[in-house]
Structure 1
Amino acid sequence: MDGLLRCTDQKQLSEWIGRECHFRLLYKITRDGGSSEKFHELCDNKGPTVTIFYNTGSNVYGGYLSERWSCSGVWATDQNAFLFKLYTAANWMPKIFHYIKGKGNNYYKDLKCGPCFQNLLSFENSVVFNKTRSCFPLKTSNLLNGSHFDMGEETGFSVANGHNNVTDLEVYLVKDGPFVEEAWRESPEWNLQACQELKENIIRHEPFEEANVPESNILLVGQVDAGKSSFLNTINSIFKGKISSRSCSGSTENSLTKSFGKFHIRDPTSKKRLKFSICDTRGIEVELSIKDEDIGFTLDGNLPNHYTFNPFEKASTKVPGFVKDPTLKDRMHVVVFVIDGSTLDVLPEIIIKKLKYIKALAEDRGIPQLVFLTKMDKICEHVKKDISNMFTSEIVEGAVNKAANIIAIPRSHVFPVKNYEKKTKLHTNLDIVALGALYQALVFADDFLENQCDVKQGGTGELNTKD
């Protein structure tokens, strides 16, 4: 969806509209520009819409129109239209402002105007971003003055701080039902057979043969409380057949994972280790975070298993067990960024910078990267009810697109997942999503190993694969 509208916002708007709805982003001023012609090109004759204003005071407000926008050049009346607020100074304070019956025309449809309600105008012809004020300065005439919509005790000052300077403006198409007509990504078969096939494919996995390595190394990195350890526990639980907790996990201000750990999963039948390791790392924090040098050592395979990351001091070659001459089997073969999908809008810049730094280090080494986007049930009520809705949810699609933009990675490399955190029994659909993400990581690891072998055979570089 790529918009700023959250699941909670959509649920509230659906309640006010009076039916379950989903919202498809049509127009976004920061993406499409502040042109009234562009607004009408994207929004006219589509159906009911919701217009959202995000102003510089962290206030979120807007208007609902049950009629269609057009360029007819007249004021008109929509008996079902209403104005509303969702947030005041970033605090959730939803309130609806109903149209006052008999007050006449309450919205304007004209080519020269953007979305325009009585008491809530936007812009005429065009508006440009004011770099000095960091906003789009929209019209304030009769701003939320209650002449056509019942504001109760609210005013333009209480709702919008008396101004209409916005960081963004969005228009959404309102459609009945929770989902898009077609899946935004190929959806797996949601049954026990599909789950078993995925498990068997992973059990049969062998690292690229010519690489001569015993296992594929998957490195998990991400912010504190994103779900790295929970993903590891989820995979272990799936193969163990019951909820397990191999790695410490939970919600905490600082990282629960303090050391570098290589975890192995066992075949439930043979009890033998599967031929991959999932490597957990200290969570990335705003203040106490893994050192840049430690990241490089981790990618290159220098750090021994159980090495404790020190947020105040970087690792050195004097670390006990330090691998001075790592071979291909010691190195990381794929990097997985584990990101909390419910925090994408508030992800600190310092965290984003660290993630991008890790990505750059991986790219320098030719290591492929994926993103596992966790906690999808927190941002989408429909996924919370049934995880098989994952690939038809517009909210999840929007989160995937946003994560891809943040990390600068193809959208096809971002996998929404849900971990076992609250559940006490295994669920087939959750298993399918997690196993599908893991399997793709193994495919990417094989790509890396094959590339390394090609480099060696082509004589353009050296590979040390001796064990």
Structure 2
Amino acid sequence: MTGKTELNNIDRGQFCKWIGRSVDFKLVYKASRDGMSPAIFHQKCDNKGPTVVIGYNTDGCVFGGYTSVDWKPCTCGTAQTRWDEKAFLFSLKYMYEYHPKIFPVNNPELAITMCSTYSPVFGVAANPDMVILPHKIVNKDTNGNFVTGLTRENIQFGKVYDSEGVPIQQVTKDNYIFKEVEIYQVMDPVRLDKPWRNEKKDNKATLKKMVEDYCPVKDTGVKQSRILLVGSVGAGKSSYFNTINSIFKGHVACQANTGSSEHSLTTKYRCHQLRNNSTYLNFRLCDTRGMEDTQGIDPCDWTAILDGHVPDRYTFEPCSPITPDSPGYIKTPTVNDKIHCVAFVIDSSSVDVMNESILSKFNLVQKLANERGIPQVIVLTKVDQIELDVEEDLTRLLYSSRVAYVVDQVAQLIGLPRGHVLPVKNYEKETELNETVDRFALLSLQQILRFADDYMYELLDVLNTRDTYNRPTLDTRQPSRKLSSHSLLWLWVIVIILLVFITYYLLSYAYNLTDIFNSLFNIDNQRL
């Protein structure tokens, strides 16, 4: 774990809410890197201003404390308490389950205890509410853990801080063997003077008109561009469609199922069409089942989706991939049925804790898309949850150093250029439309449609130049139409009538020809 911080975006957002403002975190102490002793603690953490101390024990419990004042050695040589009315203790996880809980200070004059021979103490030294680093040198054991020797008897949780009736066992599980201990300096966030990305000045009405007027590239046979939304459960795929749909409906809509669930609420493949009043727009947002560790879409299904074999409203079966015998399977898909751009929908607050299994599934879809020359983007959702300032005012999004950092982070993780990362905030708790929410959603959609056009231009080049590169075959055939039984009946009637007329004509012609021969024969007889 050396060199890698354990504090993730979700934790950062939670601390910002507890502290009550947007803050940045700078790692100043890490036990696995720096060692564990009071001297090292003071060397790394004294006079740093507000800090947060976090312990990660071997039972998956994450807990610690925050103080808004400096740690510093006491000059009198003995332990000394210090006032801090903003201090609090916390629990982030209990046995690997995320259950954030805060325990505010009740007696602020005893909030922390400082001494040159002590590690950080929350509460009174003799009976502290919480201690994570012991007042001695601790080395790693053979498993790489720090066995501190602390026990429940060393802790008097709830004396200075409000435990709210929660016993210390439900915070620490009585385990003070730590895999890691980190201390972060808490600082005011860096305010950017200039936006981290060139800001498009078009207002919502202009952007909306651009999307309304969008048409796929001519001469490709594509009537509606198809955008495939790919993401894990809860990332915001369906919410992204609902947000775009809301803009054109004129009110917050919820056509696609959304919500919090352990498993994906989207079970069918949906090629959503969007309307502007009664007119269909020239693109579709194709929603898929959310990726899960042990469930989700079969790799064969991803291939079928990209190639246009999967019909709208097809129900995915995790244990049974689609086959040519599946109901509705499109055996001869046209370019209209195929995917023209893939949008990976990723929750910005969970970028740094993305499961390896989910990431490998992203990589699979990316590989399949690259083989077909399909461009990809990242729709970065929930950007309001990674910085309090952005949550309070979304117009600060492009001036947020934290958002800029996460954009870089996810671009590197997925392996796409930063310009392919499109930050948005979906409608979630709102009941009315918001101008800024709509602008960022429309900006992302506009860029996605441009990438879809790039794919079609490539197809057009294949059609025009007949080059030998390994490109998808352009198939502009329209699906054949079967005649109804009523139409077939009328067709047979017409055919029969034509046959009658032809027969009559031939018989008449034959009869007249016989008369001519008879006349000629009679003339010849008379001459004889």
Query: What range is the shorter-chain TM-score in?
Result: 0.7 to 0.9
How far 1:358 moved relative to its partner? Answer: 2.2
CA distance in 2, matches of 1:218, 1:42: 50
- Structure 1 residues 96 and 220 mapped into 2: Cα distance closer, same or farther (>3 Å)? same
Q: Find out whether 1:264 has 2:273 as its counterpart.
A: yes
Partner of residue 22, structure 2: 22
The code of the aligned residue for 1:85 comes to F
How far 1:254 moved relative to its partner? Answer: 4.4
Partner of residue 95, structure 1: 103
The partner residue of 1:51 within 46, 49, 53 is: 53
Partner of residue 251, structure 2: 242
The code of the aligned residue for 1:181 comes to R
The partner residue of 1:230 within 236, 239, 248 is: 239
Q: Find out whether 1:86 has 2:88 as its counterpart.
A: no
How far 1:278 moved relative to its partner? Answer: 1.2
Q: Secondary structure at the match of 1:363?
A: helix
CA distance in 1, matches of 2:137, 2:460: 59
The code of the aligned residue for 1:461 comes to N
Work out the number of aligned pairs and report it.
Answer: 446
Q: Secondary structure at the match of 2:314?
A: coil
Q: Once the two structures are superposed, what CA deviation does each residue of 1:241-286 show, in whole Å capped at 9, x if it has no partner?
A: 2333443444445444333222233445xx5433322112223345
Partner of residue 13, structure 2: 7
> Which structure has the larger Rg over C-alpha atoms?
2
Partner of residue 461, structure 1: 470
CA distance in 1, matches of 2:178, 2:335: 52
CA distance in 1, matches of 2:306, 2:31: 36
The code of the aligned residue for 1:50 comes to V
- Structure 1 residues 301 and 435 mapped into 2: Cα distance closer, same or farther (>3 Å)? same
CA distance in 2, matches of 1:214, 1:30: 57
Q: Once the two structures are superposed, what CA deviation does each residue of 1:112-168 show, in whole Å capped at 9, x if it has no partner?
A: x9x85675438999977x7x74x6527557999469x96579898775455554444
Larger CA deviation: 299-308 vs 24-33: 24-33
- Structure 1 residues 30 and 226 mapped into 2: Cα distance closer, same or farther (>3 Å)? same
How far 1:450 moved relative to its partner? Answer: 3.9
Q: Find out whether 1:201 has 2:201 as its counterpart.
A: no
Unaligned runs of 5+ in 1: 15-19
Larger CA deviation: 363-372 vs 1-10: 1-10
Query: Larger relative contact order (C-alpha < 8 A, sep ≥ 6)?
Result: 1
CA contact (8 A) 1:122 1:138 kept: no
How far 1:293 moved relative to its partner? Answer: 0.8
CA distance in 2, matches of 1:32, 1:405: 26
How far 1:220 moved relative to its partner? Answer: 0.8
How far 1:397 moved relative to its partner? Answer: 5.4
Aligned 1:367-386 pairs, distance under 5 A: 367-377=374-384, 381-386=388-393
The partner residue of 1:310 within 308, 314, 317 is: 317
- Structure 1 residues 145 and 123 mapped into 2: Cα distance closer, same or farther (>3 Å)? closer
Partner of residue 226, structure 2: 217
How far 1:315 moved relative to its partner? Answer: 0.8
CA distance in 1, matches of 2:112, 2:302: 64
The code of the aligned residue for 1:261 comes to R
How far 1:198 moved relative to its partner? Answer: 1.9
Larger CA deviation: 75-84 vs 234-243: 75-84
CA contact (8 A) 2:29 2:184 kept: no
User: What is the CA RMSD across the aligned residues, in angstroms?
Assistant: 4.6
TM-score (norm 2): 0.67
Q: Find out whether 1:121 has 2:133 as its counterpart.
A: yes
CA contact (8 A) 2:82 2:110 kept: no
CA contact (8 A) 1:67 1:78 kept: no
